[in-house]
A = this chain, B = another copy of it.
Amino acid sequence: MLGCHYGPKGFRDRVPRVETNGLPSGGRVLCVAMFIAILFAVPLPPQVAQRLLGGALTDGVAYSRLAELTDTIGPRLSGSAGAEAAVRWARQKFQQDGLSVHLEAVKVPHWVRGEERGEILPEPGIVGHPLVLTALGGSVGTPASGASGEVVEAHSIAEIAALGDKARGKIVFLNHTMGTKGGYGDFVGLRTRGPSEAGKVGAAAVVLRSLATASLRSPHTGTLVYDPAAPRIPAAAVSVEDAELIHRLLQRGTVRIRLWLGCRWLPDADSANVVADVRGREIPDEIVLLGAHLDSWDLATGATDDGAGVVIVMEVGRLLVKDLPRRTVRIVLYMNEENGLAGGKGYAAAHEAELTRHVAALEADSGSGRPVGVTMHAGEGGVALLKPWLGPLESLGLGEPAEGEAGGADIGPMAPAAVPFVGIQQETSHYFDTHHSAADTLDKVQPESLGKAAAAFAVVAYALAEMPQPLPRPAAQPARNRQEPAKPAPAH
């Protein structure tokens, strides 16, 4: 049944129509050349597409592996026993699948959470309230007696700075209006940079309204980035409900908060990226890289961030070893995406010499939602080159590929080497309901959507590895700065 969607008729319909009328002579020559190139391009053979789609959609392997990863290994924060267990688990799965797998050592930061709690202190006529909070990743802890102070509210980095002396010794409450997933990119700077900005004006601590699109009193963590030039002060996210409460109480008068954060830094730990190759049958030195991150936050089992990505790219490997494409497809399970990016930076550094032979890179780090589109950041003509190969994606409801945001935190460090980035866009309307919270658990994953996402990654990866010519390379770019994510924000 799937075949009917990407059979010969479907393919003909998708051949780009070449219009020559009115074009100048040079353009006409170019068009003829493109037409010839397309005729010579052998698109994705239907029987291969059928095996890839059929395997991803019906074998159930991605979902059962996600259950195994999350239920039997659990949270995987860098430096934790869970992270190391996940490395061993992934290596074994790749071996089982017949991929050539090895570990690449990375040194990772090791931060642990400890006990944490907080409260709004009682004021005359106003009862005290417990706060549901969680330390931001990387925060320093408070003294054992806690950190306390009067609350001052700010809504932007500029407003923090403008507080000046008014923030001295106070708790800076960072409030915002995130309501949809797009708000993450708008406000994540409050989380990453807010604590140091508050430290610069002498604040005692920071509480941030969770970056979330839904809340049942559930705080969302995520990394902060301390500015070396600023005092390091403790910082925690409070649930949306608690943020609204603080905001309301500030309308009534003085609000004082006390919080206890037991989090602390340990010495850097030894860990690893897991690198597995589906060796290309004709041009094995050219590499299509698929990345996802094996680490997760510690509050939950990271089923959607990024367990889903892990099993999606593993599934591509499992399916492609049965239908080897021309080029090598490399699956990289990065370590430490969440709080340091040591894996992403480490891979780019260790493989610097061969990045020119990385013909494309994709990252699966947007959860387990169904695929909704393919985007590309490549050189001119890349979209037209790939388009004829993606007919099988019609059966998943995807339209044609388009220029657009593509990339990811882990593959970002390869941008200076002008590696073309391809993105499989996924449905993410509920992604930030649970992102970085204790509710990022397996039950949030729909097996059907996960299978469709794996199918889309498999088809695109096969196409990129099988096309006679690789994608044209884009202009080299600086590596992405985590503190200033692009919009729409990559999920990190």
Which A residues are closer than 8 A to B by beta carbons?
67, 71-74, 82, 85, 125-129, 132, 214-218, 240-241, 244-245, 248-249, 252, 300-301, 433-434, 437-439, 441-443
Are the C-beta atoms of A127 and B245 separated by less than 8 Å?
no
Q: Which one of B252, B437, B438 contacts A72 once the chains associate, using CB atoms below 8 Å?
A: B252
Are the C-beta atoms of B217 and A300 separated by less than 8 Å?
yes
Check A72/B216 contact, CB under 8 A, given A132-B438, A240-B443, A443-B240.
no
Query: A81: nearest residue on chain B (CB-CB)?
Result: B127
Query: A123: nearest residue on chain B (CB-CB)?
Result: B72
Are the C-beta atoms of B129 and A442 separated by less than 8 Å?
no
With a cutoff of 8 Å between Cβ atoms, the chain B residues found around residue A85 in the complex are: 127
With a cutoff of 8 Å between Cβ atoms, the chain B residues found around residue A438 in the complex are: 132, 216-217
Are the C-beta atoms of B126 and A72 separated by less than 8 Å?
yes
Query: A72: nearest residue on chain B (CB-CB)?
Result: B126
Are the C-beta atoms of B217 and A215 separated by less than 8 Å?
no
Are the C-beta atoms of B72 and A125 separated by less than 8 Å?
yes
Q: Given A72-B125, A72-B126, A216-B216, list of 19 further CB < 8 A pairs?
A: A71-B126, A71-B245, A73-B127, A85-B127, A129-B301, A132-B438, A214-B216, A216-B217, A216-B433, A216-B434, A216-B437, A216-B439, A217-B218, A217-B438, A217-B439, A218-B218, A241-B439, A245-B441, A245-B442
Q: Which one of B132, B249, B434, B442 contacts A244 once the chains associate, using CB atoms below 8 Å?
A: B442
Q: In the bound complex, how far is the Cα of B248 from the Cα of A31, in angstroms?
A: 57
Are the C-beta atoms of A71 and B216 separated by less than 8 Å?
no
Q: In the bound complex, how far is the Cα of B128 from the Cα of A297, in angstroms?
A: 16
With a cutoff of 8 Å between Cβ atoms, the chain B residues found around residue A249 in the complex are: 71
With a cutoff of 8 Å between Cβ atoms, the chain B residues found around residue A434 in the complex are: 216
Are the C-beta atoms of B73 and A248 separated by less than 8 Å?
no
With a cutoff of 8 Å between Cβ atoms, the chain B residues found around residue A74 in the complex are: 127-129
Chain copies in the assembled complex = 2
Q: In the bound complex, how far is the Cα of B125 from the Cα of A437, in angstroms?
A: 25
Q: Chain B nearest CB: distance from A453 CB in Å?
A: 21
Q: Chain B nearest CB: distance from A80 CB in Å?
A: 10
- With a 10 A CB-CB cut-off, give which of A85, A244, A300, A443 has the most chain B CB atoms: A443
Q: Which one of B125, B126, B216 contacts A215 once the chains associate, using CB atoms below 8 Å?
A: B216
Q: In the bound complex, how far is the Cα of B128 from the Cα of A480, in angstroms?
A: 36
Q: In the bound complex, how far is the Cα of B215 from the Cα of A438, in angstroms?
A: 11
With a cutoff of 8 Å between Cβ atoms, the chain B residues found around residue A442 in the complex are: 244-245, 248
With a cutoff of 8 Å between Cβ atoms, the chain B residues found around residue A72 in the complex are: 125-127, 252
- With a 10 A CB-CB cut-off, give which of A125, A248, A438 has the most chain B CB atoms: A438
With a cutoff of 8 Å between Cβ atoms, the chain B residues found around residue A82 in the complex are: 127
Q: In the bound complex, how far is the Cα of B300 from the Cα of A240, in angstroms?
A: 14
With a cutoff of 8 Å between Cβ atoms, the chain B residues found around residue A217 in the complex are: 216, 218, 300, 437-439, 441
With a cutoff of 8 Å between Cβ atoms, the chain B residues found around residue A218 in the complex are: 216-218
Check A67/B441 contact, CB under 8 A, given A217-B218, A217-B300.
no
Q: In the bound complex, how far is the Cα of B215 from the Cα of A434, in angstroms?
A: 10
With a cutoff of 8 Å between Cβ atoms, the chain B residues found around residue A129 in the complex are: 74, 301
Q: Chain B nearest CB: distance from A18 CB in Å?
A: 52
Q: Chain B nearest CB: distance from A65 CB in Å?
A: 14
Query: A82: nearest residue on chain B (CB-CB)?
Result: B127
Q: 21 pairs across A/B with beta carbons < 8 Å? A: A71-B248, A71-B249, A72-B125, A72-B126, A72-B127, A74-B127, A129-B301, A132-B438, A214-B216, A215-B439, A216-B217, A216-B438, A217-B300, A217-B438, A217-B439, A218-B218, A241-B439, A241-B441, A241-B443, A244-B441, A244-B443
With a cutoff of 8 Å between Cβ atoms, the chain B residues found around residue A252 in the complex are: 71-72
Q: Chain B nearest CB: distance from A143 CB in Å?
A: 22
Q: Chain B nearest CB: distance from A75 CB in Å?
A: 8
